[in-house]
Structure 1
Amino acid sequence: MSEARKLAATPRRERKLLGFFGAAALVVANTIGTGVFTTSGFALADLGEPSFVMLSWLLGGVYALAGVAVYSDLAERYPESGGEYVFLRHLIHPAAGAAAGWISLVAGFTTPIAASALGAQLYLARAGGPETSGPLVATVIVVALGLLHALAPTPGVALQNFAVAVKIGAIALFVAFGAPSAVASIGAAPAPALETFSLLALAGSLVWISYAYSGWNAAVYVTGEVEGGGLTVERALHAGTLLVIALYLCVSAVILYAAPPQEIRGVAESGAIAALAIGGPQAEQALSALIALALVTSASSMLLSGPRVYARMAQDGVLPAPLGRLHGDHPRIAVLAQAAMSLVVVWSAGLRTLLEFAGVTLSLSAGAVVLGWLIRRLREGSALRKAPQLAAALLFLTATTGLLIATVAMRPASLIAAAALIGAGLLAYAIGGRRQAMMSGVS
């Protein structure tokens, strides 16, 4: 057979939706959203000193990297789309996977999409956009992105990658613009009053900050659609998270030191207030428009990755079957359902409430994954051969425990809501998932 005939007879391998840069961009887009531009004002109200807030951002980055170390190992072992749902289904029990899937459904994607859209509406108004009595602009954002990713997924990814590049450039511009003022303020700032430092307040602020970092695991939700599978996802998780940490520290320094503390303390739009202090109304409007773009790309990335989890859950019988229906390789119905659920949250909750609930709930889910990984490795006797991941797992679990203690002390309603969500996931498994899980088997 001629070479041409051999090539013609060889079935073409369908190209995956994402490569390394697309997966890393997904991490950056998913992570850099509402949190970095809103959380510092809330944390400053709790901690009192900008230096303590900067410490919390650094600790949040270490916490995220510890999670990356474990999730990277799991992505290589289970190179499937689905994230925590797949990991816990294999590591612990299908019921644990179902509970994690419900956490992803509500706190992992639905709530953050709504928060990003609401944050974008706030910043668009500061940029001179429409000011509405209700979340109308946020609604338009969610609907437009849902239709884009449902009906044109490949152009949607290309547009998102371009927007992420613009977002990184915008953040670099913000940092360069505010750095002289921030450096001058840092140089003139008195030493922090250590007697005012509260470990409980630090842990409470880390609940919000852990939410701001929560997209560090974004690529594992689409592992099955990444060229190179788990190995590529591992590289993307590390590269994307390290870039995010660097950008977060720089942005937070500008917000905390370039703006008057009394004006940003406890305020959501702390980034825009910092721009106003640095360069006046025009700078505030320009930066607000760029921040709005950053928040839109965050919502876009979650509308891309979240429905892959729901489709997998539906195929396993844990969610209604129509959500698992594919158009080509793309879960169109799940994307539209995700947009619809996010709209419900947009119209029913405030931004600060969403941040608190999402932070503690996602920490619970990730902590369960890391605990499952540790138990599996100990049973196999391979934990000591994975010494760096073992250290990272212990650090992650210790920090997660501290976050939960702080939540019980300061925000018990968020923990109660998280427990109710986990209960809903277990109930859903009991009703529809057990038979399917028993039939398919778990490795």
Structure 2
Amino acid sequence: MLHKLKLLFVGTNVKRQQNYSNLQERTPIAAVAAPKQSLALLDAVALIVGIVIGAGIFQTPAFVAANAGSDINVLLLWLLGGVVSLVGALCYAELATTYPDVGGTYYYLKRAFGRSVAFLFAWARMTVIQTGSIVLLAFVFGDYFSGLWLLGPYSSSIYAAIAIILLTGLNILGLYPGKWTQNWLTAAKILGLLLVVMIGVAANNPTTLPTPTTSTTPTNWGLAMVFVLLSFGGWNEAAYISAEIKNRRRNMVRSLVWSIGIITTIYLLINLAYLRGLGLAGMAKSEAVAASLMDRTVGTSGALFLSILVAICTLGAINATILTGARSNYALGQDFAMFSFMGGWQQQKETPTQALIMQGAIALSLVFLGTITRNGFETMVEYTAPVFWFFFLLSAISLFVLRQRDAQINRPFQVPFYPWIPLLFCIICGYLLYSSLAYTGIGAIAGVLVVGAGIPLLLWNNYRQRSLRE
């Protein structure tokens, strides 16, 4: 009996030492149940397009038009947004194909800057970046769906919570239900947006078909690009499916290029429709540019169609963000013992169940925060933007660090015109970081404070590791 107890004690101690060990790679035990390559190229494209095309394209074009100065500038700005996104995607394509890992950016930062920086990123992603993005989209869904069926004074928040619960539950059921739902939602949103394009382009009212015009307000390309790139945000989530995509060396690059090409084309067409249906001045003055277009060209029935389309777009973006967000939580649970409850992978369902549950719980708490501030969408934008662009800048810098540190490693894809393209990406991220701090308020402070709260957790984890070694 004593011998058995001794063996049990030794085995438990070894397991604890293994959990707390300061390794750069995950333990072999964790590899028993791990992600496998289950996503095809079409699945990856649907995820990326689904994340990027959310609610932004229904709101930001008015801000872009107000700062563009002319019709041509509007289209050039959206084209430039696609080019900028492609620059960043080329950098991520090298990282994702060289270091395919379910942790995505978390893993790149860990290799480049160490476990402490990676921990703070994963903490920020879990509590601010990803969950904040989920809630931001959920509030937009709630706002528009409340126009179809109002549930009282807190209707938007109720719908936001319902969307998060249902889509989190769907992904807990497994990867296949999540990815097929995503594929259908993405297909529906593309068809819906193309219909809006056709309605706008086919508008034949002489008062809504102005010749190319210029604005009397000063041109501000910098501010306009802030809103353009906000609408292009999310393509970087491809990094979190790099370990699960089939034929990753080829399909990772192809999925990014195809996705950004599709997104840029749709954005150019939809803005062409806005310009043709409303004109530059009409776009700039509209508080809901898509609704204004549909109301002018179709009538009141257009508002119903638009509400349904926005709901589909936001649901697709929420589902994709939930799916990819849980992957970095899983990676955090694999590396740090205090979050080990998130490090389990359900092999049969091909999904990190505990990581999804944790993400959903945090997102629901942020719904409550947005409810009490009475301004859910704006609060979430301020809450997430500065933290997102700070770590996005670090991920760009990590490419330079890893090129030097891992000079001998095989790189299936290399960024063309290195180091100029990655350097341009760093400059863009730095500018957006500055802009996000300059144009946000109390929400940004809250986001930074939440990230700072991860520092004591990191110190406590390091202290426990040292204690176990002694």
Identify the TM-score tier after normalising by the shorter chain. Answer: 0.7 to 0.9
Query: Distance between the aligned counterparts of 1:44 and 1:318, measured in 2?
Result: 50
Correspondences of 1:334-353 after superposition (within 5 Å): 334-349=355-370, 350-353=376-379
For residue 239 of structure 1, report the CA deviation from its aligned partner.
1.1
- Of 376, 379, 384, the match for 1:358: 384
- Of 391, 399, 403, the match for 2:428: 399
Structure 2 vs 1, CA of residues 50 and 386 (structure 1 numbering), >3 Å: closer, same or farther?
closer
Q: What TM-score do the two structures reach when normalised by structure 2? A: 0.80
Name the SS for the 2:403 alignment partner: helix
Q: What TM-score do the two structures reach when normalised by structure 1? A: 0.84
Structure 2 vs 1, CA of residues 245 and 386 (structure 1 numbering), >3 Å: closer, same or farther?
closer
Structure 2 vs 1, CA of residues 121 and 54 (structure 1 numbering), >3 Å: closer, same or farther?
farther
Correspondences of 1:247-262 after superposition (within 5 Å): 247-255=266-274, 257-259=276-278
For residue 172 of structure 1, report the CA deviation from its aligned partner.
1.2
Name the SS for the 1:207 alignment partner: helix
Match of 1:130 in 2: 150
Query: Distance between the aligned counterparts of 2:54 and 2:442, measured in 1?
Result: 24
Query: Distance between the aligned counterparts of 1:53 and 1:430, measured in 2?
Result: 48
Describe the superposition over 1:55-76 as per-residue Cα deviations: whole angstroms up to 9, x where unpaired: 4433332221111001000011
Q: Does 1:23 align with 2:44?
A: yes
Match of 1:93 in 2: 114
Name the SS for the 2:325 alignment partner: helix
Structure 2 vs 1, CA of residues 432 and 71 (structure 1 numbering), >3 Å: closer, same or farther?
same
Query: Distance between the aligned counterparts of 2:205 and 2:268, measured in 1?
Result: 13
For residue 53 of structure 1, report the CA deviation from its aligned partner.
4.7
Describe the superposition over 1:129-184 as per-residue Cα deviations: whole angstroms up to 9, x where unpaired: 33532111122111111111112432222122122112211111111111133997
Q: Which moved more, 1:298-307 or 1:330-339?
A: 330-339
8 Å contact kept, 1:51–1:192: no
Describe the superposition over 1:305-350 as per-residue Cα deviations: whole angstroms up to 9, x where unpaired: 1111101101100752211122223211211222222222223222
Correspondences of 1:419-430 after superposition (within 5 Å): 419-430=448-459
Match of 2:219 in 1: 197
8 Å contact kept, 1:16–1:226: yes
Match of 1:276 in 2: 295
Match of 1:390 in 2: 419
Match of 2:327 in 1: 308
Match of 1:214 in 2: 233
Return the index of the structure with the highest Cα Rg. 2
Unaligned 5+ segments in structure 2 are: 1-33, 371-375
Structure 2 vs 1, CA of residues 410 and 303 (structure 1 numbering), >3 Å: closer, same or farther?
closer
Q: Which moved more, 1:387-396 or 1:84-93?
A: 387-396
Q: Which moved more, 1:373-382 or 1:294-303?
A: 373-382
Q: Which residue identity lines up with residue 129 of structure 1 in the other structure?
A: W
Query: Distance between the aligned counterparts of 1:389 and 1:351, measured in 2?
Result: 38
Correspondences of 1:43-442 after superposition (within 5 Å): 43-44=64-65, 52-126=73-147, 128-130=148-150, 132-134=152-154, 135-181=157-203, 185=208, 187-193=210-216, 196-198=218-220, 202-255=221-274, 257-259=276-278, 269-317=288-336, 320-328=339-347, 329-349=350-370, 350-378=376-404, 386-411=415-440, 413=442, 416-432=445-461
Name the SS for the 2:327 alignment partner: helix
For residue 85 of structure 1, report the CA deviation from its aligned partner.
0.7
Specify which structure has the higher proportion of helix: 1
8 Å contact kept, 1:17–1:225: yes
Q: Which moved more, 1:184-193 or 1:58-67?
A: 184-193
8 Å contact kept, 1:149–1:304: yes
For residue 36 of structure 1, report the CA deviation from its aligned partner.
1.4
For residue 205 of structure 1, report the CA deviation from its aligned partner.
4.2
RMSD: 3.2
8 Å contact kept, 2:111–2:402: no
For residue 296 of structure 1, report the CA deviation from its aligned partner.
0.3
Give the percent of matched residue pairs that are identical in Structure 1 and Structure 2: 24
Q: Which residue identity lines up with residue 379 of structure 2 in the other structure?
A: T
Describe the superposition over 1:211-233 as per-residue Cα deviations: whole angstroms up to 9, x where unpaired: 32221112211222222234322
Unaligned 5+ segments in structure 1 are: 1-12
Q: Which moved more, 1:409-418 or 1:351-360?
A: 409-418
Query: Distance between the aligned counterparts of 1:362 and 1:164, measured in 2?
Result: 24
Describe the superposition over 1:32-89 as per-residue Cα deviations: whole angstroms up to 9, x where unpaired: 1121112223445566766555444333322211110010000111111112111111
8 Å contact kept, 1:42–1:267: no
Name the SS for the 2:150 alignment partner: coil
Describe the superposition over 1:80-137 as per-residue Cα deviations: whole angstroms up to 9, x where unpaired: 11121111111222222122223322343211111211112222234x3335321111
Structure 2 vs 1, CA of residues 39 and 164 (structure 1 numbering), >3 Å: closer, same or farther?
same
Query: Distance between the aligned counterparts of 1:139 and 1:93, measured in 2?
Result: 36
8 Å contact kept, 1:20–1:226: yes
Structure 2 vs 1, CA of residues 117 and 268 (structure 1 numbering), >3 Å: closer, same or farther?
farther
Query: Distance between the aligned counterparts of 2:388 and 2:108, measured in 1?
Result: 15
